[in-house]
Structure 1
Amino acid sequence: MSVTVEVPIKFQDQTEPSVLRDVAIIQKCPVLVRAIESKNPDWATDGVQLKDAIEIPQKKAAGDFVFTHTLRYEAPDMDKDDAKVEDYKEANNKTLEELKEIIECASFLENSSMMHAVGFIIAKKMDTMTVEDIAEYLGTECLPEAQFFDETDGWVHAPQEVFQNN
């Protein structure tokens, strides 16, 4: 028996909401599950048709990517070290800025497998970047290289400016 599931989703750059109907996709996003369960705890078996849209403070393109690929993208297994960029070719075709928006959307939705998959691709793209470029991408200051380890006493002595603004 098929149940009707209709969950209106409205992204920050949308005027009209989109409707999400796939139970498996919704279940991969704990934020959506909690929002739906507050109205109907048995939504996955009884069905649900929400009237009010769930607002997502992310761009629609990022959300569409998460919803489109969430059932296929599994978190890379770091114990096996056999993850391949080819397993996530759609993500690999995105720019770092697009990937940042996608991982932020996945983070908001608490979709951990998508966060890990996109994080893997971001890390692979950063492999060839300089430290300065990575710091700029992450929006952090890149401190010049310095010697913090004191051979004479075996302690790390970081300068005071490292601890400022924290």
Structure 2
Amino acid sequence: MTAWEDRLEQRLGAHDRFRVGLVWAGNPDHKNDHNRSMTLHTLAPLLDCDAQFVSLQKGVRDQDRAFLAERRDIVDLTEHLTDFSETAALISCLDLVITIDTSVAHLAGALAAPVWTLLPFNPDWRWLLERDDSPWYRSMRLFRQTTRGDWASVVEEVRRELEKQVTD
């Protein structure tokens, strides 16, 4: 364990619950951001699971800032993350990353960390179609919208699967 990972572990506290990193929005300048991003509030059903949630979200948007501030149960160490190596170190302290299609999905996949990627109805070509795994990343599971814009059913499916993870 590196010194940076050790400091992160200290900031996260005891690893007595399943740790889940969250990313809900990408770069607002991305041409498909309006389809791939969601608000943090959309992920609220996940927060009822008995897990420790950790924000991996860089550049929190105004509409999410108040909700994040209210949710003291989401650990936010992102001000300490200045590059991918620090983000990678934080990912290594987690049991699972739940993310939309962002660089964090690719980073977690490249690290072979367990990652669940939430995809819009019309995803980027890299995610192919009609499959729940990725040929690029063996540790990745894909959760897809079946109806354009319907994040609620995707989040509900993820919540059911996360419940299974935290109770095993």
TM-score (norm 1): 0.24
Higher relative contact order (CA 8 A, sep 6+): 2
- Which of structures 1 and 2 has the bigger CA Rg? 1
TM-score (norm 2): 0.23
More strand by share: 2
